[in-house]
Amino acid sequence: MKTLQTSILLIVFISGLFAQSQPLKTRLDQKAEAIEQKVIEWRRDIHEHPELGNREFRTAEKVATHLRSLGMEVKTGVAHTGVVGLLKGGKPGPVVALRADMDALPITERTDVPFKSLVTTEFNGQSTGVMHACGHDAHVAILMGVAEVLAANKNELKGTVKFIFQPAEEGTPTGEDSGAKLMVKEGVLDSPRVDAIFGLHMSANTEVGTLIYRSGALMAASDNYSIKIKGKGSHGAYPWGGVDPMVTAAQVLIGLQTIVSRNVNLVKAPAVVTVGAIQGGNRVNIIPEEATLIGTIRTFSPETQQFVHHRIQEIATHIAQSAGATAEVSIQNQCPVTYNDPALTDQMLPVLETLAGKEKVKSNLLDTGAEDFSFFQEQVPGLYFYLGAMTKGKKREEVAGHHTADFYLDESGFLLGVKALSHLTVNYMEQWKGGAAVR
């Protein structure tokens, strides 16, 4: 019996030595593959129980419990419902941050998946369904997987990893503040100070196995605007007795379209000015006193952003004045350009190409969407990229877009996401040169 026990102990010891002798990156991949189904199950659970911005209580608890089980220092309640986990490696080195956003959208789901969301809530005074219609459920599950992969190899890590699970990327109810901007304000990138940050976003119209990136500007700066037109109310049958703010609003709407088509130098960078709604009046035969236009602005440089803001103010006030009305213009900055540090991107690109294959890593055109990951990138070098989640053989026009009721992700792409964030972290640590890294 003693001989048998000795043999078993020897086998275990030799197996341990063999495992340690394998390259770290091989062990990362093996661990990622071993927990792939677990990542999918986490995603399905989060998908079935979606929560809106600043209300991610269940999701945050799930994340915090998992991080604590891995032996991490965990801080909760960051920017309301955010969770931050700290994994200290066995060797000295930089601090690498990895980020996932947790919130869902006020959309009633229409898919027929077995883990379909049936959650309903009230948002800004209206009853609505709640759905993960942008992939944040996958972002959380993937980063939970990365945490498990790196924690299993923490003794070999040359530095510290900060896992940032962020609330409210999609926004919050009126009057509330949160998201990446508030996390930065509360010091999420400090104590210890982050040297670089990585993040990914699911792409439902990019084939599984594909990674999309762009050096420099990737996604647009986003601003919201409101234009209140004040006229003079009158009976709808006697319009000459008033100053019609609805007609004036329509003229302002047309005028705004000339900013991009006639004023912005599109050879340098694109821009978007969209009117999302015109609000005013409540009866067929009453010309109201006021009408309001609301919309969004997307730009890729501070110069273009300032120019567009100026033209909106100029066009609205002058058109209103010509009609005998007045215009009050308010513009709110939402988030800056999502900007991938060129040096960091160049250094990490071979990592992505090795994992996915060179032919599957593609540089993207500018994206007029917006992402508050940009607030982290304003403070430290960052790399943000897209992870394909469209079933192989499908065409882009055949799949539902993000922020729609039929949004769908092919879960077979999640494994590449876990591997990508794990390898980026380890490679950055290995190439770090004591403070002179990738600036």
Q: What's the token pair of residue 271?
A: 């821009």
Cβ atoms of 25 and 423 within 8 Å: the answer is yes
CB 337 within 8 A of CB 300: yes
DSSP-derived secondary structure for 84-148: EEEEE-SEEEEEEEEEEE---BS-------TT----EEEETTEEEE-B--SSHHHHHHHHHHHHH
Q: 36-48 and 24-34 are packed helices; what angle lies between their axes, rounded to 10 degrees?
A: 50
Q: Compute the residue count for the chain.
A: 439
What is the distance between the alpha carbons of residues 407 and 435, in angstroms, rounded to a whole number?
Answer: 43
Report the candidate in 174, 87, 138, 156 with the shortest Cα–Cα distance to residue 408.
Answer: 138
> Does residue 103 carry a catalytic annotation?
yes
Is 169 known to be catalytic? yes
Tell me the CA distances in angstroms from 70 to 65, 73, 140, 221, 273, one per residue in order: 9, 9, 16, 37, 46
From the list 29, 51, 56, 103, the catalytic residue is 103
Structure tokens that stand for 359 in this block: 């032919």
- Strands 91-101, 120-123: pairing is unpaired
- Cite the DSSP H helix spans in 259-385: 302-322, 342-356, 374-377
b/e sequence 384-408, b meaning 16+ C-beta within 10 Å: bbbbbbbbeeeeeeebeeeebeebb
Instruction: Specify the DSSP element, H or E, that contains 423.
Output: helix 414-431
Residues 379 and 189 sit within 8 Å (Cβ to Cβ): yes
For 245-268, give the DSSP string: HHHHHHHHHHHHHHIIIIIS-TTT
| Active-site annotation holder among 169, 207, 341, 367 | 169
Give me the DSSP letters along 202-245.
EEEEEETT-EEE-SEEEE-EEEEEEEEEE-B-EETT-GGGSB-H
Q: 214 with 364: CB under 8 angstroms?
A: yes
Separation between Cα atoms, residue 180 and residue 80, nearest integer Å: 11
**What is the Cα–Cα distance from 284 to 282, expressed in whole angstroms?**
7
Q: Are 154 and 89 in contact (CB under 8 A)?
A: yes
The catalytic residue positions are 103, 169
